[in-house]
Amino acid sequence: MELTVYNPQKGRLETLSVELTTENTTKFTFSEKPGDIAMITDWSGDLLIIGHGRDYPIRIYGSSRSQINHDRIQAKELLRRTMR
């Protein structure tokens, strides 16, 4: 599926062709507030962090779910560090 994501390294939106599967995606079922992390997805050596609300997913170069132990809190910290 086509997914529009924000690329903070380039400072712009881009459209990616992403397959969201159980093999490459971790979903967090107990997160429903805006700003919470809904899921994290490995995509071509990068990490996509998808939140609840109207924000675009964020692409983070050179990261993966395994590097943050498939953890929502570590994903939120990585997102915070990337977006400063």
Query: Which residues neighbour 67 within 8 Å (Cβ) at sequence distance 6 or greater?
Result: 47
Question: In the numeric block, which tokens belong to residue 47?
Answer: 């990490």
How high is the pLDDT of residue 30?
76
- Cα distances (Å, whole numbers) of residue 42 to 33, 48, 61, 84: 23, 6, 10, 22
31 pLDDT tier (thresholds 50, 70, 90): low
Query: What sign has the CA pseudo-torsion 27, 1, 10, 64?
Result: positive
Question: How many Cβ atoms from other residues are within 10 Å of residue 74's Cβ?
Answer: 15
Domain ranges (residues) in the chain: 2-82
How high is the pLDDT of residue 84?
85
Query: Poorest-confidence range of 19-23, 33-37, 46-50?
Result: 33-37
